[in-house]
Structure 1
Amino acid sequence: MKIQAFRTLIVATAAVAALSVAACTKKTDEANTAAAEANTAAAAADSAQNAAATAANAAADASAAAGNAAVEAGNAATTTTTETTTTETAPAAH
């Protein structure tokens, strides 16, 4: 009887150990999936940050170009052109 009880205890202990390993493995898989998703989200955030920086640089370039164009337009509007016309008359007949 003692041997049968001992065997039952060993089998029960092995079953609990197997269930524990299975539960931990599932948690590890879930943790790995969550970590992979977090890495994907971090990469997407990094890409978005780079895109935002590129857009900011393009906006600054466009602003500078618009400022330069405004200065050029102002210079063209205030520049005056003078034209000199020379006319010659024929000498008088004697």
Structure 2
Amino acid sequence: MTMKLAKAFSLIALMLISLTTLSGCEREEGPMEEMGENMDEAATDFGNAVEDTCEDAKEGAGAKDTDC
């Protein structure tokens, strides 16, 4: 029983070391991933611009709560 347990622990340790080593590898971003990141950034910038415009409009109208 002890030998089986030692083999099981050795196998688990080997798997964990392998996973840790593989997760440390850095891969290059492809053009599609870069395009996706650019789209995310553009969407965030657009949302911020809409929110700023809304807050400016509320402020110009004299609203007490200028959060949008």
Q: Which has the higher contact order (CA 8 A, sep 6+)?
A: 2
State which structure, 1 or 2, has the greater radius of gyration over its C-alpha atoms: 1
Q: Write 1 or 2 for the structure with the bigger share of helix.
A: 1
TM-score normalised over the length of structure 1: 0.36
